[in-house]
Amino acid sequence: MGWLDWFRNKRPTPVLSAAPHSPPANPDLLRSAPELQTAIGYQFSDLFLLEKALTHTSYAASQERAYSYERLEFLGDAVLELVVSSYLFQKHADLNEGTLTKFRTMLVNTLHLADRGKDLQIGKWILTAKSVSNSTQVITSNSILADVMESLIAAIYMDGGLAAATQFIQRFVITDHPTYIDELQSFNFKGQLIERCQRDNLGTPEYEITKTTGPDHEPNYIMQVVVNGDVVGFGEGRSKKEASQLAAEDALKNWEALFDRGSHQHEL
């Protein structure tokens, strides 16, 4: 077993809890815990971690608690970035570093995390001091909802390990991001071009480097894509993958002008 497999399967000791498996001090949270755990799709072994993840600083101060969600938020931010980075790296082998970074930013930014928190109605479970006059604003604040999502990720990680945190992140942070999905679909122009060629019985696109410029350590590639014997698009990029993607995009933009679909149909 490699070190990454060991790390992925390791169930961390809940070192953030002074008394492992102690019940939450807040009785309201204890009563609402089943509903919350159903909503997030995870059952805690140590509900004290869940309480910490939901404790706002105002509640901690009013109840003289020595903890709030802030320390867990610090850990959750790191776990979230690790899981999202690993997911994108393994899922999209054709994307370069810059594009992977762009998609990761989409998935871990404050507004997206806050939206996911709103979908899960996390705000109604955040523990705030009753004396806080703007408690409604506190539990609907984008920054606070995003912070609590990260602290919740950390609590799940501490309680159930990286596998449990990964499952939560993939289900609630990654898979339902419409902008990420839309941009990914629009970016994968090579796949779209293959599908278009198959639909119109035009064979498989062929990519050819026509020119290379720049120094050896930082080359720039100019590439053309050929469909059915015709050059249909050009692309230029710092890598062959980037140049071929742009060439495919160029071909798709001009598809209707280049091909009369009916003239290329033939019987199988």
- Give the Cα separation of 169 and 242 in Å (integer): 29
* Domain 3-184: assigned CATH number: 1.10.1520.10
Average pLDDT over residues 83-108: 86
- Known catalytic membership, residue 77: yes
Average pLDDT over residues 188-199: 82
Q: Is the pLDDT of residue 234 over 90?
A: yes
Q: What pLDDT is stored for residue 184 in this prediction?
A: 65
Active site residue: 150, 159, 242, 249, which one?
150
% of the chain surpassing 90 pLDDT: 37
Global pTM value: 0.62
- Known catalytic membership, residue 81: no
C-alpha closest to that of 256 among 230, 226, 232, 224: 232
Both tokens of 30, joined, read 């204890």
Active site residue: 73, 77, 159, 242, which one?
77
- Give the Cα separation of 195 and 199 in Å (integer): 6
How is the chain split into domains, by residue range?
Answer: 3-184, 188-264
- Give per-residue burial for 6-40: e unless 16+ CB within 10 Å, then b: eeeeeebebebbeeeeeebebeebeeebeebeeeb
Please give the residue that has the higher pLDDT: either 21 or 55.
Answer: 55
- Alpha-helical (H) ranges within the chain are 3-9, 27-40, 47-54, 57-62, 70-91, 97-108, 110-119, 135-140, 142-160, 162-169, 178-187, 189-199, 240-253, 255-258
% of the chain surpassing 70 pLDDT: 75
Q: Is the pLDDT of residue 13 over 60?
A: no
* Domain 188-264: assigned CATH number: 3.30.160.20
